Chain A
Amino acid sequence: MAEKEWGRLPEPPREVVLRVKRYDPERGRTWWQEYRVPTYRGMTVLDALLWVKENADPSLSMRYSCRMGVCGSCGVVVNGVPRLACQTQIAAVASRENPVVTVEPLHNHPVVRDLVTDFTAFFEKHRRIIPHIVRRDMREVEEAEYEFLMTPDEHLSIYQYSLCIMCGLCYSACPVAASDPEYLGPQALAQAYRFIVDVRDEGYDRRIAIVDTEHGCHRCHFAATCSAVCPKDVDPAAAIQRLRRIVFLRRLGLWRKRKVAPLAGPLEKPLRRIRAEYPRHNLVEGADPERQAREPVDIDFREEWLRE
């Protein structure tokens, strides 16, 4: 998600008030709790939550893992916007005039406790669209001997969508998922598109049948909030619109897969084995020239690489 002050955040206020929406599953009680948290430059919302857990209230529950926006575990709603807690700077959401940061569990996912949400249904929807390469001959994948050939352009057409980390922020922001629990959701639909247009894939008809239902891609109304909140710039809104175009054209018999990637197969020319030369100057620390001379290394090269 684009940050307005990208790259030049002000100092955070000395102390922020963290308003956390809490839920106790045993008593079925929901309440707001406030914590005063001292801040430092570079503090994230996840840091603040962990400070609360370590210093103020050990009963506060949240989910996190990598702390660097890779695992997608720490999605929460900060000041009304679904965000990754680990990627949200306190300075970006609180100011000296308004030092209150509200933190809620993600919407549209059932809450297990406090900020921990249940992703079972969300992952189940992802699984339903067959999120892996499907070939007519599945042995090409399961007993793979060679890779599929793909040009850089073909890779670029799916690369953006393959960045998805399944953090569930798009699903939490979606106005359709806000009332329809059966809606597949932006994440699963974007992944369906990603695999349908993947040149290595041949399972498009199965996926189109899964997506072309009353709770599939036709329930999307292009509110585009999914793309606006995505922390990885995956752009599910665009993917779903292009997916619908494919579904409609397929229904009218006007769409077919232009190209299916072939297997790479064995090389036309055998590789040439070359005795590697060790560098004689600027030796790596700990390298032993005598041992290197005793144990030579062979490298397999293609002819045309050698010419260059």
Chain B
Amino acid sequence: MASEERGRGRLLHNMPGLLQASLNPWLVRVRNNPERLAFVLHRVTGVIILAYLVAHIFVTSATVDEALWESVMGALSGPLSRVGEWIVAGAVIFHGLNGIRLILVEFLGLGVGRPERPKPPYVPPSLRSGQRKGLYLVFALSLAGWALAGVIMFAG
């Protein structure tokens, strides 16, 4: 724990840190906040996709030679890499759908409600307006899309 000198005592730095904040959606155990879960999933899927992208750039460079490509594809045709591919597919589906929602909310400022005079039960507009319905839609479509991707990849 880092601490800093101030007067007689030291201040205790009380921050959960990047890993806790970006991996634990229940760091703050508050109800009515699925946006936090979406934030964690968006960040985790983003890192998964970036790792895949970098690997993908190197793997596809093997396409310049037919024999090399066949050997690389042979090495990557096992069930383990197939499951890994399916996880990346799910990550892309969620990141893409939630990304559309985030563009609407963060870029265009849509779906966060209008400022109002607070009244009981004091649920802020942004937690009950369009973006929340969109978020539930994102979760539902992501699960459906992930299942569909599984059908295409494992049965197709």
Contacts and interface: CB of A to CB of B under 8 A. Distances in A.
Verify whether A and B have any Cβ pair under 8 Å. yes
Interface of A: 1-4, 6-7, 23, 25-26, 28, 30, 79-82, 105-113, 117-118, 156-161, 163, 173, 175-179, 181, 220-225, 227-230, 232-235, 237-238, 241-242, 244-246, 248
Interface string B5-36: 01011111111111011100011111111011
Contacts of B20: 178
8 contacts: A25-B9, A28-B10, A181-B15, A221-B43, A223-B38, A225-B30, A228-B30, A235-B124
A181 B14 CA distance: 11
A120 B91 CA distance: 41
B121 interface: yes
B58 interface: no
Contacts, number: 168
Contacts of A81: 28-30
Nearest to A229: B30
Interface string B104-130: 011111001101111011111111000
Nearest to B111: A241
Contacts of B113: 235, 238
B21 to A, nearest CB: 4
Contacts of B4: 110
Interface of B: 1, 3-4, 6, 8-18, 20-22, 26-33, 35-36, 38-39, 42-43, 102, 105-109, 112-113, 115-118, 120-127
B28 A173 contact: yes
B105 A241 contact: yes
Contacts of B17: 178-179
Nearest to B3: A28
A6 B32 CA distance: 14
Nearest to B39: A223
A232 to B, nearest CB: 7
Nearest to A79: B29
B122 A2 contact: yes
Contact of B11 (A118, A237, A245): A118
Contacts of A173: 28, 30
Given A111-B11, A244-B106, A223 B117 contact: no
B115 A222 contact: no
Contacts of A176: 21
Contact of B124 (A26, A178, A237): A237
Given A2-B123, A79-B29, A81-B30, A30 B12 contact: yes
B14 A233 contact: no
B28 A222 contact: no
A112 B8 CA distance: 11
A84 to B, nearest CB: 13
Nearest to A245: B109
Nearest to A117: B14
A178 B106 contact: no
A6 B121 contact: yes
Nearest to A113: B9
A30 B9 CA distance: 13
A117 B15 CA distance: 12
Given A178-B21, A222-B35, A112 B118 contact: no
Nearest to B115: A160
A263 to B, nearest CB: 25
A241 B30 contact: no
B41 to A, nearest CB: 11
Contacts of B127: 224, 227-228, 237
A181 B21 CA distance: 13
